[in-house]
Amino acid sequence: MKIPVKKLHPDAVLPTFGSAMAAGADLYSVEEKVIEAGRTVFVPTGLSMELPAGYGGFIFARSGLACKRDLAPANKVGVIDADYRGEIIVALHNHGQTAQTVEKGERIAQMVVLPFLAAEYFETDELSDTDRGNGGFGSTGKK
């Protein structure tokens, strides 16, 4: 799959894969940003792209950044819709106790392009029965 990417900033870096079989492509910061402990900062990538219809770009944490430096997307998983043409910006949250500096050119998140099903929701008065029923959080682990 080929995805057109537009550089909005001369220092922007196209997404790259860390290995031949990596699922996520690394996204890079186009600016240096300081993220104070417990705060969220919007980190620009300087890129926009044209995802194909029926696909979305899903933004996940980079494991090293999240585990070693406590920095992860604030919304847990960002979603880029196929009709969005604006700049890809990652909202990074600092879950740690000390400020962290994201350097210009640093890998800040990873994007996985995935197909999705376009659902049509409709109102009904009845739903089918299941063994689980309306059991909520933790209900499937009980005996």
Task: Kindly report, residue by residue over 93-118, the tens digit of the pLDDT.
Answer: 999 999 999 999 999 999 999 999 99
Residue 90: inside a domain, yes or no? yes
List all residues 6 or more positions away from 125 whose beta carbon is below 8 Å from its beta carbon: none
Residue 125: inside a domain, yes or no? no
- pLDDT 10s digits, 52-68: 999 999 999 999 999 99
Separation between Cα atoms, residue 93 and residue 75, nearest integer Å: 9
Residue 126: inside a domain, yes or no? no
Residue 34: inside a domain, yes or no? yes
Domain encompassing residue 46 = 5-118
Residue 59: inside a domain, yes or no? yes
User: Does 2 have pLDDT greater than 90?
Assistant: yes
Residue 127: inside a domain, yes or no? no
How many domains are there within the chain? Answer: 1
CATH number where 63 lies: 2.70.40.10
- The pLDDT of residue 128 is 94
Residue 62: inside a domain, yes or no? yes
Spell out where 4-62 has E strands.
Answer: 5-7, 16-17, 25-28, 33-35, 40-44, 47-49, 55-60
Contact call for residues 38 and 94 (beta carbons, < 8 A): yes
Confidence band of 142 (pLDDT split at 50, 70, 90): low
- The pLDDT of residue 105 is 98
Q: Read off φ and ψ for residue 38, nearest 5 degrees.
A: 75, 10
Residue 141: inside a domain, yes or no? no
User: Does 121 have pLDDT greater than 70?
Assistant: yes
Q: Read off φ and ψ for residue 139, nearest 5 degrees.
A: -70, -25
Is the overall model pTM greater than 0.75, yes or no?
yes
- pLDDT 10s digits, 5-48: 999 999 999 999 999 999 999 999 999 999 999 999 999 999 99
